[in-house]
Amino acid sequence: MTALLTIDNVSVSYGKAEAVRNVSIAVEAGQVVTVIGPNGAGKTTLLNTAIGLLPCQGRILFNGEDVTRLETESRIEMGFGLVPERRELFAEMSVYDNLLLGAYSRKDGTAAAKRSIDDVFDRFPKLKERRAQHAGTLSGGERQMLALGRALMSKPTLLMLDEPSLGLAPLIVKEIFRIIPSLRDLGVSILLIEQNARSALETANYGYVMETGEIVRQGPAGELIHDPQLIATYLGGHGDAHN
Ligand code: ATP
């Protein structure tokens, strides 16, 4: 079976410093796949490379097609979506206009984009309530919902999320991790980068552990969450994955 996304033996450098080394990752259609690991492991670099913001060695395939040399714009048109760590909303613009801008790469017209906004509002009723509010005045959780909603506006088949739980209160984090698998109903597969290893592994089908630029461990998420070494390093260290 051809994976939706294949990152094949990819290396990325900033000048002489190699941030990602010989990394291979696959996201099958309909799956949530997570990459966990500490600060500076190269996770953000990997996502930015997948969507074409950084050049790399190795290959990136989308539905079996080699996209390694394609521009970011073309990848977005093909179905890539990215919610960056900083969320990068237009602070002075309304919730509604931020969403509308998320549809810029689509070619099916404004009426279709407006219908998609209604779909986003159905999924995130808070955003509907706040449709006229400037994005810059939203709470952290609302901003993350808007960033997610905006990414959905381009109708991605692969959504890459860079630390969606970063800086959010525990209840909001729970809500975000409830929403992520529900996006599969829309035909969206997910590549999730997280430092919140426990929540990520509870949500994902398959997981990779990245340390200093390399994949050091991988497996079904349900197995990784019970791995004693991962429990000690990333999951709270009590030897009981449920506490
Ligand atoms: P975090 O969770 O802190 O975001 P990360 O796993 O996403 O970490 P990256 O942000 O990909 O890690 O960084 C990987 C390495 O590359 C780090 O050593 C970082 O300092 C370096 N790096 C990242 N961006 C740049 C850049 N623009 N120029 C030079 N080095 C960079």
> Is the shortest distance between the CB of 39 and ligand 1 below 6 Å?
yes
> Is 143:135 a contact under the CB 8 Å cutoff?
yes
Domains of the chain (ranges, CATH numbers) = 28-55+68-79+156-243 (3.40.50.300), 88-155 (no CATH)
**Residue range 184-191: mean pLDDT, rounded:** 91
Q: What are phi and psi of 102, to 5 degrees?
A: -65, -15
Q: 37 alpha carbon to ligand 1 midpoint, in Å?
A: 12
pLDDT of 85-119, one tens digit each?
877 888 899 999 999 988 877 777 788 888 889 99
What is the rounded end-to-end Cα distance, in angstroms, of the chain?
37
Cα of 40 vs centre of ligand 1, distance in Å, is 5
**What's the distance, CA 179 to chain centroid?**
12
Name the pLDDT band for 136 (thresholds 50, 70, 90): very high
In what side-by-side order are the strands of the sheet with 80-83? 80-83, 158-162, 189-194, 32-36, 206-211, 214-220
Q: Which two tokens stand for residue 227?
A: 């791995």
* 47 ligand 1 Cβ < 6 A: no
Evaluate: CB of 16 within 6 angstroms of ligand 1.
no
Q: Is the CB of 43 under 6 A from ligand 1?
A: yes
Across the chain, mean pLDDT equals 91
Strand pairing category for 17-27 and 5-14:
antiparallel
Q: Measure 45 CA to ligand 1 centroid, in angstroms.
A: 6
Q: Which atom of ligand 1 is nearest to the CA of 193?
A: 7
218 pLDDT band (50/70/90 cuts)? very high
What percent of the chain has pLDDT above 90? 70
Considering only residues 124 and 185, tell me which one the structure prediction assigns the higher pLDDT.
Answer: 124
**Cα–ligand 1 centroid distance for 39 (angstroms):** 8
Give pTM, 2 decimals: 0.91
